[in-house]
Amino acid sequence: MKVILKKDVSNLGRSGEIKTVKDGYARNFLMPRGLVELASGGAMRAWKNSADKRAKRVAAEDDALKDLAKRLGAITLSFSRPVSEEGVMFGSVAKSDIIKNLAAADMEIHKDMIRLPASLKAVGTFEVEIVLKTAITATIKVAVSAQSR
């Protein structure tokens, strides 16, 4: 089934591209989420007519995301967690903690954008990658310190 991507879909393509996907994938996953539309005759004509508008919109979005990436690169998030006498940390720093701190700084990031394989369970400074778009990434520093009792 030929579809036109309305939004970027990881492992499939970028917004505005025409792709051929399996019928079930399109009907059961992509269409209900509003990620694609069926590439019918009218949709194809509209797609061709709106190519310039789409290119300008994508360029503006990319510029905004690059600006956000620069702002994110300058940020160091600090967390304090209780630690036992043996040096074992109670609790961890998860994606949700990072999202809350970034939201406090007026930066809205979705949890799927954060590349953190597991919660941070040690004291130290870590670099966490945030993928804003396929080709636009930012790296933030996360400092985890021992909480004084």
Please give the Cα distance from 113 to 129 (Å, whole number). 8
> Which residues make beta-bridge pairs with 131?
137
Pairing of strands 2-5, 36-38: antiparallel
What is the token pair recorded at 69? Answer: 């990436």
115 within 8 A of 130, measured Cβ to Cβ: yes
Please give the Cα distance from 92 to 95 (Å, whole number). 10
More confident residue, 85 or 138: 138
Share of the chain above pLDDT 90, in %: 42
Whether the per-residue pLDDT at 84 is higher than 90: the answer is: no
Q: What is the CA 142 to chain-centroid distance, rounded?
A: 17
Helix residue spans in the chain (DSSP H): 23-25, 41-49, 51-73, 95-104
What is the token pair recorded at 83? Answer: 């630690």
Level-2 CATH architecture, domain 69-147: Roll (3.10)
Give tens-digit pLDDT for 44-61: 888 888 888 888 888 898
Distances (CA, A) of 1 to 19, 30, 36: 8, 12, 11
The pTM for the full model equals 0.70
Please give the Cα distance from 120 to 5 (Å, whole number). 36
Domain residue ranges of the chain, discontinuous segments joined by +:
2-49, 69-147
pLDDT band at 105 (very low <50, low <70, confident <90, very high): confident
**CATH superfamily ID and name for 2-49:** Ribosomal protein L9, N-terminal domain (3.40.5.10)
pLDDT band at 112 (very low <50, low <70, confident <90, very high): confident
